[in-house]
Each structure stands twice: as C-alpha cells, then as structure tokens.
C-alpha cells in the first residue's frame, strides 16, 4: 500500500490535472455554464499547482535520475522539462481564451475541459517509454484537439479545420499504430528501452537481433512510426493539415496546437529515437542504423524548412503566415535530431523552449490584432504600429526572434543548432538552414513593414490592457532569455541527459 502511494506520488502532476479536468466539467454542469470566467480562474489555479509540483519534481530528480511509476511512466528531467513548459503554455492559452474578444463568456466550460484533457495527453506522451501509453496520450491529445479546432461551430472555416484535422489525424494515427504493431511483432515488446537493448536472456529479442535477420521490416516499421510523429510536429510530407487547421481554429486553440502540441510531438520523437538507437548499451549495428535514420531526418529537415519558408512568403493572412513559419521551425528543430548526439538533442530542446516564448507571443499579438480589426490579413495591420505602439514593438521582438536575429532567444537557439550541425559534419544542412533564415527575414519583415512603414494615423490608447501586459511580458522573456541564456541552456542540456544517450559509439558517418 505504501509503495502504491509512492508510485502515485510520482504521477501527482497527471493526477492533479485529471482531477482538475473533472472538477471543471462538474463545476460547469452545476453552474449551467453561467460564468465561465470563474472556470478559467479555477483552471489557472489548478495549473499553478501542477507547475509547483513539477518544479518540486525537477528539483528532486537527479541529473540522470529516472524513476518509474506503475512500470509505465518514466519520470525524469526530460519529461518534466516538457511538462513544465506545457503547463505554462496552457496557462497562457487559458489567459488568451479569457482575453479573446470574439469568444463567448458563457457556456464554454468544455473549452477548458478539453484543453486540460489535451494537456494530460501531452503529459503521458512525453514521459513514457511504453508505446501503448504513448499512443493513448497522443490520441487523447489529438481527439481533444479535433473538437477544439471546431469549437466555433457557426464558422465554416472552423468546421473545415476540425474535419481536415480529423481526417489527417485518423490516417496518420492508423499508420503509426500499424508501425507500432510491426515493431511489437518483430521484437515482442512495446517497451522502448527493452526494444533498444534487448531483454534478459534473449527475450524479448530487441531490435539488435532483428537487424541481422530482417533489416527491411525494421525500416518499414520505424518509418511508419516516424510518420505519426511527423504529423503531430507537422513535418513534410505530413504538414498539409497545418495551414488550414491553424487558420480555421479559434486563435487560442491555434496557439495551443502550434506551441504545446507540436513540442509534445517533438519530445516524444526525441525519446523514441533516443531510446531506440542511442541509449547506453545498444550495439554498434543499432547505432549505425541510427545514423541512417539521422540522414533521413536531415533530408526531411531540409525539405520541411525550405517548403515552410517558401510558402510563408506568399501568404496574405498573418495566421497562415505563422502556420507556415511553424512548419519551417519544425525543420530547424529536426536539425538537432538529425545530428543524433546528446548535444544535438539539447540544441533541439533549447530551440523548442525558444519556440514556446516567441510563438506564444506572436499568437497573442495576433489575438490582440483580431480583437481590434476582426481580421487576420496583413494588409489590415497597416499603421497599427502607430496606433498601438506597445504591442507592435513587442511583436517586432517576436519577429526578430522568429527570424533568428540577435539579441533574442531565437538567435541563440539557431546558433546552437548550426554549431551542432557543423560539428556533426552536416555542413550542407546548415547551409540550407542559413539560406532559409535569409528567406524568412523577407516575410517576417513584411509584417513589421506593414506595422510601421505606412502613414501614421492618429494615436489611440491601447484598449486591451491585460492582453497588452501579457504580450509585453512574453516579449521581455524573449529578449531577456536571449541575452542571459545560460540558465535555459543548462536546463535544456540537462533534459536530454536523462534519456541516457551515449556518445562513445558516435561515429560521424
């Protein structure tokens, strides 16, 4: 019994989130959805508790320490890092829902329930080595996201977003499950750590044994599973849903999808690749195989960032532009994975953290601007810089960070990725990424140009003070973490260390 409580304590954040979700749902039912602002405050309080628990967990875990709960959830700093960011991002999203002028204030209790449900899915996804729980977490996240994307039923675009998301999501979940079933058939286990190393006494067999006898099925299975992750993280060629869904979904939901959901996809992908190919104790053959998967990821990375950036150039809607830019950023993050070392992984994690700050800010700005003009066209941004100077300057900070210029966190993140890329002999990929950064300058500064380089109109004071405060806070974070990056760098370095990746076998192709 005592042991049971100890294990339960390890998944306290998940448990608290689950209770929170049920409380919100019941509360909504009892108050008949009268004042959903109170539900939002309740959600924020609950998330605050979760953040506090996660901070405690981070402190109590050693650098490489990992404890398991019920033999399913692996509690380590890697998972805790992403859980912490998810919880914080969700708090921002809940605030955005509160500040959304176009959102009803009554009868939207399910909104918060579904957001928390999606977060529980992410929590399971990022902290398990078990493919069954991983898939369930991913599906929980997906199913909650489908309903959230279609939350504005009256809007045709929202309905379209939901439908497209369901169709693409269902297809890729099926493909991924098929890959997982093949992996299970080949190795006899769904535990990634056992799959990578092989079990005691030759059973379950592990991937090593299968490389010798059946290299092709292993490749088929791994690629099928990667496809599922690629969909969640909108990596080419599984990115088609991204612009339409991001455009049609309510803006707070878009923020959640672009930030928390995407980062969760990457976190699970990092754990999958790390546990299968790079952990301590895998044989030479597996490691060499990992290098080939790395090459595949490098090619995907180059294609993803190029396609994302080129398509973003032609967009007239700021929401679509940010959607394509998020595809491009998925390409950058993938660079760190393609390197296939612990340092590369930590560069990816750092970039994801940077991505949280700048995209939360950019989407918060989008919400502000939609509240003012009721449109998301870049053309209607004209002169906003003179009418709303504070948020506009904050947006410039986000744009500079997204483009990867100093002194912001985006610059430092890209620097780390480029450095690791060159270090691992992926010079060609770094060259393509640098070219892409130049292309991205063009469209990010088109937005800045619309904001400032048009006829100044008469100034009016900002009318959404709370949202302005949030945006300014995020922009300060973006700049400050860019200049004083050592703490964030230390944390993002510690996160992948928990995966137990060994660099000794690392042989640059």
Partner 1 sequence: MAELLFYLLSLGAIGFGIGVIRTHMPLYSVLSLLGTFFCLAGIYLLAGFPFLAATQLLVYAGAIMVLFLFVIMLLNLGDRDELNRQTGVALSGPRLAAAGICAGLLGLAGLIAAGWGGKVTPTEAVAAGGVDRLNDIAEVLFGRYMLPFEAASLLLLATMVGVMSLAKRQRGEETEAGDTGWPWHKGVEQ
Q: Least Å distance between CB 60 and partner 1?
A: 21
Q: Least Å distance between CB 267 and partner 1?
A: 17
Exposure string for 211-246, b = 16+ CB within 10 A, e = fewer? beeeeeebebbbebbbbbbbbbbbbbebbebbbbbb
Q: Is 279 helix (H, G, I), strand (E, B) or coil?
A: strand
Give the residue with the Cβ less far from partner 1, 72 or 303: 72
Are 79 and 130 within 8 A, CB to CB? no
Give the residue with the Cβ less far from partner 1, 8 or 438: 8
Q: Least Å distance between CB 231 and partner 1?
A: 16
Give the residue with the Cβ less far from partner 1, 47 or 143: 143
Q: Which of 258, 411, 238, 414 is nearest to 323 (CA)?
A: 258
Whole-angstrom distance, CA of residue 411 vs CA of residue 403:
8
Phi, psi of 347, deg, nearest 5: -65, -40
Whole-angstrom distance, CA of residue 289 vs CA of residue 215:
9
Q: Least Å distance between CB 172 and partner 1?
A: 13
Phi, psi of 60, deg, nearest 5: -80, -20
Q: Least Å distance between CB 22 and partner 1?
A: 8
Residue 393 vs residues 361, 448, 505: alpha-carbon distances, Å: 12, 9, 48
Q: Least Å distance between CB 309 and partner 1?
A: 30
Give the residue with the Cβ less far from partner 1, 47 or 115: 115
Token pair 């049971």 is at which residue?
4
Are 132 and 161 within 8 A, CB to CB? no
Q: Least Å distance between CB 254 and partner 1?
A: 17
Give the residue with the Cβ less far from partner 1, 87 or 207: 207
The structure tokens listed for 404 are 């990867």
Q: Least Å distance between CB 27 and partner 1?
A: 13
Percentage helix, strand, coil, to 5, in the chain? 75, 5, 20
Token pair 């002999």 is at which residue?
425
Give the residue with the Cβ less far from partner 1, 113 or 418: 113
**H or E, element range at 174:** helix 156-187
Give the residue with the Cβ less far from partner 1, 59 or 216: 216
Q: Which of 491, 496, 352 is nearest to 58 (CA)?
A: 491
Residue 408 vs residues 224, 361, 481, 491: alpha-carbon distances, Å: 37, 13, 7, 18
Give the residue with the Cβ less far from partner 1, 215 or 406: 215
Q: Is 282 helix (H, G, I), strand (E, B) or coil?
A: coil
Give the residue with the Cβ less far from partner 1, 140 or 354: 140
Binding site for partner 1 (CB under 8 A): 11, 18, 21, 25, 32-35, 69-73, 102, 104, 106-107, 110, 113-114, 117-118, 120-121, 124, 130, 132-133, 136-137, 139-140, 143-144, 146-148, 150-151, 153-154, 162, 178, 182, 185-188, 203-205, 209-210, 213-214, 216-217, 220-221, 224
- Sign of the dihedral defined by the CA atoms of residues 309, 310, 311, 314, in that order: positive
Q: Least Å distance between CB 184 and partner 1?
A: 8
Q: Is 121 helix (H, G, I), strand (E, B) or coil?
A: helix
Q: Least Å distance between CB 215 and partner 1?
A: 8
Q: Least Å distance between CB 441 and partner 1?
A: 39
Give the residue with the Cβ less far from partner 1, 32 or 490: 32
- Sign of the dihedral defined by the CA atoms of residues 205, 208, 210, 213, in that order: negative
Give the residue with the Cβ less far from partner 1, 69 or 488: 69
Token pair 């008949």 is at which residue?
32
DSSP string, 49-89: HHHHHHHHHHHHS-SS-EEEETTTEEEEHHHHHHHHHHHHH
Q: Least Å distance between CB 239 and partner 1?
A: 19
Give the residue with the Cβ less far from partner 1, 130 or 255: 130
């Amino acid at each position: 019994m005592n042991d049971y409580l100890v294990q339960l304590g390890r998944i306290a954040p998940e448990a608290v989130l689950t209770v929170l979700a049920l409380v919100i749902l019941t509360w909504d039912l009892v108050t008949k959805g009268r004042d959903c602002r109170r539900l939002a405050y309740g959600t924020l309080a609950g998330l605050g508790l979760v953040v506090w628990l996660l901070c405690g967990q981070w402190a109590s875990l050693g650098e490489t320490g990992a404890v398991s709960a019920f033999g399913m959830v692996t509690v380590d700093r890697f998972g805790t890092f992403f859980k912490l960011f998810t919880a914080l991002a969700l708090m921002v999203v809940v605030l955005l829902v509160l500040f959304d002028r176009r959102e009803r204030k009554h009868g939207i209790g399910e909104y918060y329930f579904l957001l928390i449900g999606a977060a529980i899915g992410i929590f399971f996804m990022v902290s398990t080595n078990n493919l069954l729980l991983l898939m369930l977490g991913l599906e929980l996240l997906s199913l909650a996201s489908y309903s959230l994307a279609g939350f504005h039923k009256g809007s045709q675009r929202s309905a379209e977003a939901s439908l497209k998301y369901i169709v693409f999501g269902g297809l890729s979940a099926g493909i991924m499950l098929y890959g997982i079933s093949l992996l299970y058939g080949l190795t006899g286990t769904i535990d990634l750590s056992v799959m990578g190393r092989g079990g005691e006494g030759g059973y379950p067999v592990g991937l090593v044994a299968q490389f010798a006898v059946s290299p092709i099925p292993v490749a088929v299975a791994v690629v099928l599973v990667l496809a599922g992750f690629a969909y969640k993280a909108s990596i080419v060629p599984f990115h088609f849903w991204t612009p339409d869904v991001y455009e049609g979904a309510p803006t707070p939901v878009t923020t959640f999808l672009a930030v928390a959901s995407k980062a969760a996809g990457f976190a699970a992908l990092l754990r999958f690749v790390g546990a299968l190919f790079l952990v301590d104790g895998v044989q030479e053959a597996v490691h060499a195989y990992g290098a080939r998967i790395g090459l595949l990821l490098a090619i995907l990375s180059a294609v993803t960032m190029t396609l994302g950036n080129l398509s973003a150039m032609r967009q007239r809607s700021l929401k679509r532009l940010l959607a394509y830019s998020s595809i491009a950023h998925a390409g950058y993050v993938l660079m760190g994975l393609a390197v296939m070392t612990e340092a590369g992984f930590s560069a990816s994690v750092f970039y994801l953290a940077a991505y949280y700050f700048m995209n939360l800010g950019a989407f918060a700005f989008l919400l502000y601007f939609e509240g003012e003009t009721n449109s998301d066209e870049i053309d209607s941004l004209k002169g906003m810089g003179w009418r709303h100077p504070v948020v506009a300057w904050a947006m410039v900070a986000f744009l500079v960070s997204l483009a990867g210029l100093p002194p912001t966190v985006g610059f430092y993140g890209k620097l780390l990725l480029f450095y690791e890329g060159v270090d691992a002999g992926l010079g060609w990929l770094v060259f393509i990424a640098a070219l892409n950064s130049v292309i991205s300058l063009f469209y990010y500064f088109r937005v800045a140009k619309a904001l400032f380089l048009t006829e100044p109109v008469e100034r009016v004071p900002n009318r959404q003070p709370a949202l302005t405060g949030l945006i300014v806070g995020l922009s300060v974070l973006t700049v400050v973490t860019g200049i004083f990056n050592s703490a964030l760098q230390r944390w993002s370095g510690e996160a992948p260390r928990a995966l137990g990746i060994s660099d000794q076998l690392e042989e640059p192709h």
